[in-house]
């Protein structure tokens, strides 16, 4: 009982300290913390409009977070969701004229396929480098993020510049590629449905298919997987490809559902926040859904907080930072416990 | 070799030690005494609490209640530092040496006289300890170049150099050749003559009885026997350990049939950084157990990986019931009827955090029995797991229990159950009973023999010579990656031991 209480205290101490810290900072800025937090909550949860905003902001985080989940479960540290998001969106924009000529019911699936393929191929590069050249994917995926971001920047300044040639962004995608709004006048779009469908697909894949099991086995213990005849290289390849494909779809959904044009800084770090969402969700599809929702709510609420309480949106990144730290703290505690059990086992032997 | 345990002054006294780990009572009011100039054997099955008890004495584990008295002083908060300063030395099963350092540097570590050990011109005390005890080892040698037996000497030297008057050795012979074991015992007896107290934690009855003056047996955290070694028989101690009578060592093995199930022809492993296996040839008949003996590190791992399909051979071939399976991996060989029980159950055979259900899948997925299209048939998987749990008596486990929370013995039972469930013709078992208690060992052995009775065959690769002797129709001795000698059943232990140590048949 005492241990349970202590555990609970350990879980809560970080978030509570974080909230106190944030309240203090808002106060230092000469604003009211209460007003700030109230705006944060009403802007993310108060009413249909706020909820829709939360959902559409959660959408790319969820899709990319599921991708990160698949990779991390396989023991592949894909930090490259950000770049894969850009590449997915870029592929759709590049092929938009052709895709737009397809009949409407085919155009959207075709565009998602294109984005998935592009993200998958982009992610396949670090998988190749890791399995064939021993390059750590943590480094190669980050490097590829820079390349992807610069590539998009060059494209929107060059070959994909809008038709008048004045502004550094792409043409608006054809109407056939725009995701229908579900609840006008809110911006809630069909992509949210795709994201929730992806949750189910990823869950089934990870926990109800042999390939998904093999992938998790490789992530949990490459040596045990090897002795069980599982081809570890193939697992790394497929995990990366799936991970990149999901991130690519995240980029496409953001493009087709919200922005409709591609521009520099198209993603304000969705790919990195997705890592937080994946870890915060315990690398479980349902958990990631909840954490993406939470992070989406924070982003939606941040705008309201700035509008109504005059508190800078930067505060929200502080909140995110605190959440991520507390998750890391929890994970470290769990690892320590597991390790202790293992050592006790080893001692018995 | 035994001396009568007269009234020797107690050096260490543990009084009514109790310690819980979660809901498990690891030690339950245990009393234990070790005297100067006495070898005290501490016996018990795995999980009986022997190591925990000594960890209490050495300050690694704090007891929930009870008293530690060393040399007349009472210690309330024992820590390893305090224990070492007081004169308790402990040699763990896994050595704690810095491999890149020399012997002298390792001895110097953690000693207040470190300068003395470090300076080559000033090593008189270290050298006199070596001379007095017979712990022959070159102080300038780098530890990573030393064989296991010598590393153990370094550990003992470390303890003596710090002035230990009580030496606790945790399963010291588990890693030694018979020859090295003899050397160790000679050293221990000499230390005893010089007045050092020795506590020997061990599984092995014969060595406990031949070497020690007193024997204490723990079972389930309680002392069940504590008497002078001269007054007890091996059978008494064995039944005290397990709480019942055991059947004796050698088993009746079925007579092998004529047809050859597995044939290795000049198998060699590729270079992988470990000792490779070279040009291994043998033919294994149905109903036969082939024992592969050898001191650890003589190519067992490479051979096991070659047979199981983890490694592709650099040359040579492997025939399973006449079919060449050299190019098949683990999965292909399992489908062809060859299952393996890897040497390290925690890292190679199980996914510790995963539930048993998925651990069953880990070993059996190639057979496709748990698949419905691309999906897993979770119902069938749970059913098979439940059957394995029940048939193999893995108490307290469900299909959802993570492998991690089973005891070592039950983990191994599960692995054996899983691989047997694949209905293989040939089983390659690597150290299948390492670290298990007597009951679990007996169980695993019985399953392997049963497999042969049904017409299967077993390759038993084990560094435990007694196990190989007790269970094999034929024994191959592996030395530096090659088959150095072959013995029929009933070969003398000394002969096989000599071949293991020298690579030459006697």
Q: What is the DSSP string of B102-167?
A: BHHHHHHTT-TTHHHHH-GGG-HHHHHHHHHHT----TTSBGGGS-HHHHHHHHHHHHHHTT-SEE
Look at residue A8 in the predicted model and tell me its pLDDT.
Answer: 63
Q: Residues with Cβ < 8 Å from A203, sequence gap 6 or more?
A: A285, A286
Task: Name, of B102-106, B295-299, B425-429, the range with top average pLDDT.
Answer: B425-429
Pick the closest to residue B276 from B318, B312, B330, B328 (CA basis): B312
pLDDT of B47 > 80? The answer is no
Q: Could A209 and B376 be called an inter-chain contact, meaning their C-beta atoms sit closer than 8 Å?
A: yes
The Cα–Cα gap between B56 and B43 comes to 16
Reduced to 3 states, what is the DSSP secondary structure of residue B410?
A: helix
**Range in B101-105, B228-232, B251-255 with the lowest mean pLDDT:** B251-255
Q: Convert the pLDDT of each residue in B190-219 to its tens digit.
A: 999 999 999 999 877 777 888 899 999 988
Rg of the Cα atoms in chain A: 21
Q: What is the pLDDT of residue B394?
A: 81
User: What pLDDT, in 10s, does the model give residues B405-440?
Assistant: 887 778 888 999 999 999 999 999 999 988 777 778
- Residue A216 to chain B, least CA–CA distance (Å): 10
Q: For the beta carbon of residue A55, count every other beta carbon within 10 angstroms.
A: 25
Report whether pLDDT(B35) > 60. yes
CB distance B403 to B356 below 8 Å: yes
Nearest CA in chain A to B364: A228
Judged against a pLDDT cut of 90, whether residue B280 lies above it is answered with yes
Partners of residue B310 in chain A, C-beta under 8 Å = 226-227
DSSP per-residue string spanning B323-358:
EE-TT--HHHHHHHTEEEE-S-IIIII--TTSBHHH
The alpha carbon of residue B8 is apart from the nearest alpha carbon of chain A, in Å, by 31
Q: Given this model, what pLDDT does residue A14 score?
A: 66
Helices B124-133 and B148-161, interaxial angle, to 10°?
A: 120
Q: How far separated are the first and last CA of chain B, in Å rounded?
A: 28
A163, part of any domain: yes
Q: How many CB pairs under 8 A join A and B?
A: 92
**pLDDT greater than 80 at residue A346:** no
Residue B365 contacts A, CB cutoff 8 Å? yes
Find the range with the poorest average confidence among A6-20, A268-282, B33-47.
A6-20
DSSP three-state, residue B45: coil
Bridge-based pairing of strands B371-372 and B375-376 is antiparallel
| pLDDT tens readout for residues A78-115 | 999 999 999 999 999 999 889 988 887 899 999 999 99
What are the E-state strand segments in B337-479? 338-341, 371-372, 375-376, 426-430, 457-461, 474-479
CATH class of B10-242: alpha beta
β-pair type (B24-35, B39-44):
unpaired
Residue A206 lies in a domain: yes
Q: Does B350 touch chain A (CB under 8 A)?
A: yes
> Which whole number is the average pLDDT over A326-340?
70
The two tokens of residue B135 are: 């712990």
If you compute the radius of gyration of chain B from its CA atoms, what whole number of angstroms results? 24
Q: Dihedral sign, CA of A324, A329, A334, A335?
A: positive
Best residue of A3, A214, A228, A339 to probe chain B, by most B CBs closer than 10 Å: A228
A343 CB within 8 Å of a chain B CB: no
Q: Note the pLDDT of residue A250.
A: 97
Q: How far apart are CA A230 and CA B422, in angstroms?
A: 17
CATH number of the domain that residue A43 is part of: 1.10.3470
Give the span between the Cα atoms of A256 and A180, in whole angstroms.
Answer: 9
Measured CA to CA, the distance from residue B126 to residue B120 in angstroms comes to 10
Residue B3: what pLDDT?
A: 45
Q: Tell me the domain boundaries of chain B.
A: 10-242, 260-502
A257 DSSP 8-state letter:
I
* Host domain of residue A288: 29-348
| Residues of A whose CB is below 8 A from B404 | 338, 341-342, 345
CB contacts, 8 Å: B46 with chain A: 348-349
User: Residue A50 domain-assigned?
Assistant: yes
In this prediction, residue A105 carries a pLDDT of 85
Homologous superfamily of B260-502 in CATH? P-loop containing nucleotide triphosphate hydrolases (3.40.50.300)
For B71, the 3-state DSSP assignment is coil
Question: Residue B404 is nearest to which of A209, A228, A341, comparing CB atoms?
Answer: A341
Note whether B329 contacts A: Cβ–Cβ < 8 A: yes
Residue A347 pLDDT exceeds 50: no
Return left, alpha or beta for B132; rule: phi > 0 is left, psi -120 to 50 is alpha, else beta.
Answer: alpha
* More confidently predicted of B150 and A318: B150
Structure tokens at B103: 């012997």
pLDDT digit string, tens, across residues A266-275: 998 999 999 9
pLDDT at A271: 94
Give which of B314, B265, B252 is closest to B471, Cα–Cα: B252
Q: Is the pLDDT of residue A73 over 50?
A: yes
Residue A3 lies in a domain: no
Interface of A with B in 144-163 (CB under 8 A): none
Q: Calculate the CA dihedral of residues A109, A111, A112, A113 and round it to 10 degrees.
A: 90
Closest CA to A59 of A177, A175, A184, A188: A188
> What average pLDDT is seen over chain B?
87
Interchain pair B331, A204: CB under 8 A: no
Determine what percent of chain B is predicted with pLDDT higher than 70: 93
Q: CA of B309, closest CA in chain A: separation in Å? A: 8
Task: Tell me, yes or no, if B422 comes closer than 8 A to chain A by beta carbon.
Answer: no
- Give B335 or B494, the one with higher predicted confidence: B335
Q: What is the pLDDT of residues A136-195, one digit of tens each?
A: 999 999 999 999 999 999 999 988 888 888 888 888 888 888 899 998 888 999 999 999
- The Cα–Cα gap between A42 and A272 comes to 26
Rounded to a whole number of angstroms, the distance from the CA of A3 to the nearest CA of chain B is 10
Shortest distance between the Cα of A330 and any Cα of chain B, in A, equals 17
Tell whether the model's pLDDT for residue B492 goes beyond 90: no
Q: Which residues on A lie below 8 Å from B55 (Cβ)? A: 347
What pLDDT score does B425 carry? 95
Does residue B267 sit in helix, strand or coil? strand
CA pair distance B403, B401, nearest whole angstrom: 6
DSSP states of B18-47: EEEETTEEEEEEEEEEEETT-EEEEEE-TT
pLDDT reading at B4 higher than 60? no
Return d(Cα A224, Cα B344) in angstroms, integer.
Answer: 9
Least CB-CB distance to A221: which of B310, B347, B378?
B347
Distances from the Cα of A319 to the Cα of A26, A183, A325, B271, B323, angstroms? 12, 30, 10, 52, 64
Q: Is B49 on the interface with A (CB under 8 A)?
A: no
Q: Is the residue at A10 inside a domain?
A: no
Q: What is the pLDDT of residues B223-242, one digit of tens each?
A: 998 999 889 887 788 778 76
Distance CA B269, CA B262 (A): 18
Which chain A residue has the Cα nearest residue B353?
A: A220
Residue B69 and residue B82: Cα distance in Å, rounded?
A: 12
Task: Round to whole Å and give the CA distance between A167 and A164.
Answer: 8
The reply to whether residue A224 touches residue B349, judged by beta carbons under 8 angstroms, is yes
And the tokens for A154? Answer: 């060059």
Give the count of domains, chain A: 1
Cross-chain residue pair B434–A349, CB shorter than 8 Å: yes
Band (pLDDT 50/70/90 cuts) for residue A219 is: very high
Name which of A60, A118, A122 is nearest A94 in CA terms.
Answer: A118
What average pLDDT does this structure show over B470-475? 93
Residues of chain A found within 8 Å of residue B325, distances taken between Cβ atoms: none
């Amino acid at each position: 009982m005492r241990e349970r209480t202590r555990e609970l205290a350990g879980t809560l101490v970080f978030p509570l300290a974080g909230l106190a810290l944030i309240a203090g900072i808002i106060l230092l800025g000469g604003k009211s913390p209460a007003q700030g937090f109230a705006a944060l909550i009403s802007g993310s949860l108060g009413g249909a409009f706020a909820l829709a905003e939360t959902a559409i902001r959660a959408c790319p985080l969820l899709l990319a977070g599921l991708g990160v989940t698949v990779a991390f479960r396989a023991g592949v540290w894909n930090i490259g969701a950000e770049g894969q998001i850009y590449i997915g969106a870029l592929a759709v924009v590049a092929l938009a004229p052709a895709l737009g000529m397809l009949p409407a019911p085919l155009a959207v699936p075709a565009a998602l396929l294109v984005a998935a393929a592009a993200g998958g191929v982009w992610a396949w590069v670090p998988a190749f480098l890791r399995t064939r050249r021993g390059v750590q994917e943590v480094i190669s995926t980050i490097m590829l993020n820079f390349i992807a971001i610069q590539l998009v920047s060059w494209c929107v300044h060059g070959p994909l510049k809008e038709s008048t040639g004045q502004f550094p962004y792409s043409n608006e995608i054809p109407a056939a590629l725009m995701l229908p709004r579900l609840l006008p006048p809110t911006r809630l779009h069909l992509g949210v449905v795709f994201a929730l469908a992806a949750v189910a697909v990823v869950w089934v894949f990870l926990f109800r298919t042999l390939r998904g099991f093999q992938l998790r086995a490789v992530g949990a213990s490459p040596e045990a997987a090897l002795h069980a005849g599982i081809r570890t290289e193939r697992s790394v390849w497929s995990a990366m490809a799936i991970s990149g494909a999901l991130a690519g779809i995240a980029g496409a959904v953001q493009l087709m559902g919200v922005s409709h044009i591609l521009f520099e800084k198209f993603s304000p770090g969705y790919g990195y926040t997705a890592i937080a969402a994946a870890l915060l969700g315990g690398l479980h599809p349902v958990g990631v859904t909840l954490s993406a929702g939470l992070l989406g709510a924070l982003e939606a609420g941040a705008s309201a907080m700035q509008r109504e309480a005059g508190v800078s949106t930067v505060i929200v990144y502080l909140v995110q930072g605190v959440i991520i730290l507390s998750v890391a703290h929890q994970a470290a505690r769990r690892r320590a416990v597991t390790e202790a059990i293992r050592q006790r086992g080893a001692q018995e032997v | 070799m035994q001396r009568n345990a007269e009234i020797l002054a107690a050096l260490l006294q543990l009084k009514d030690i109790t310690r819980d780990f979660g809901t498990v009572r690891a030690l339950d009011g245990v009393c234990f005494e070790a005297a100067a100039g006495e070898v005290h054997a501490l016996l018990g099955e795995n999980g009986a609490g022997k190591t925990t008890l000594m960890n209490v004495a050495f300050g690694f584990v704090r007891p929930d209640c009870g008293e530690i008295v060393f040399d007349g002083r009472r210690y309330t908060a024992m820590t390893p530092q305090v224990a070492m300063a007081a004169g308790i030395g402990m040699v763990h099963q896994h050595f704690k040496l810095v491999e890149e350092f020399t012997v002298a540097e390792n001895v110097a570590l953690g000693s207040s006289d470190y300068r003395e050990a470090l300076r080559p011109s000033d090593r008189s005390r270290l050298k006199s300890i070596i001379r007095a005890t017979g712990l022959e080892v070159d102080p300038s040698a780098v530890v990573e170049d030393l064989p296991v037996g010598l590393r153990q000497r370094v550990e003992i030297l470390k303890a003596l150099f710090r002035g230990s008057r009580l030496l606790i050795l945790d399963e010291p012979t588990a890693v030694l050749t018979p020859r090295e074991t003899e050397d160790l015992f000679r050293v221990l007896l000499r230390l005893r003559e010089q007045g050092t107290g020795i506590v020997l934690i061990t599984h092995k009855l014969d060595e406990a009885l031949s070497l020690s003056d007193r024997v204490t047996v723990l079972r389930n955290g309680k002392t069940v026997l504590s008497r002078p070694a001269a007054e007890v028989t091996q059978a008494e101690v064995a039944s005290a350990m397990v709480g019942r009578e055991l059947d004796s060592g050698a088993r009746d093995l079925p007579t092998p049939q004529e047809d050859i199930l597995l044939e290795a022809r000049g198998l060699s492993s590729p270079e992988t950084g470990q000792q490779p296996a070279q040009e291994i040839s043998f033919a294994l008949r149905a109903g036969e157990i082939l024992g592969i003996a050898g001191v650890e590190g003589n190519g067992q791992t490479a051979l096991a990986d070659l047979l199981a399909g983890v490694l592709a051979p650099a040359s040579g071939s492997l025939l399973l019931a006449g079919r060449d399976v050299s190019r098949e991996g683990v999965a292909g060989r399992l489908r062809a009827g060859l299952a393996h029980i890897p040497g390290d159950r925690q890292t190679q055979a199980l996914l510790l955090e995963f539930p048993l259900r998925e651990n069953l899948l880990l070993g059996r997925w190639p057979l496709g029995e748990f698949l419905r299209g691309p999906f897993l048939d979770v119902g069938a998987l749970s059913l098979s797991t439940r059957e394995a749990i029940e048939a193999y008596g893995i108490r307290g486990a469900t299909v959802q229990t993570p492998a991690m929370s089973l005891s070592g013995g039950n983990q191994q039972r599960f692995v054996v159950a899983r691989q047997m469930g694949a209905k293989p013709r040939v089983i390659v078992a690597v150290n299948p009973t390492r670290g298990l208690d007597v009951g679990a060992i007996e169980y695993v052995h019985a399953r392997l023999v049963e497999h042969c009775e049904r017409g299967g065959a077993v390759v038993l690769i084990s560094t435990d010579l007694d196990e190989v002797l007790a269970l094999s129709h034929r024994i191959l001795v592996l030395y530096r990656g090659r088959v150095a000698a072959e013995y029929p059943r009933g070969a003398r232990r000394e002969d096989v031991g000599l071949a293991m140590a020298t690579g030459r048949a006697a």
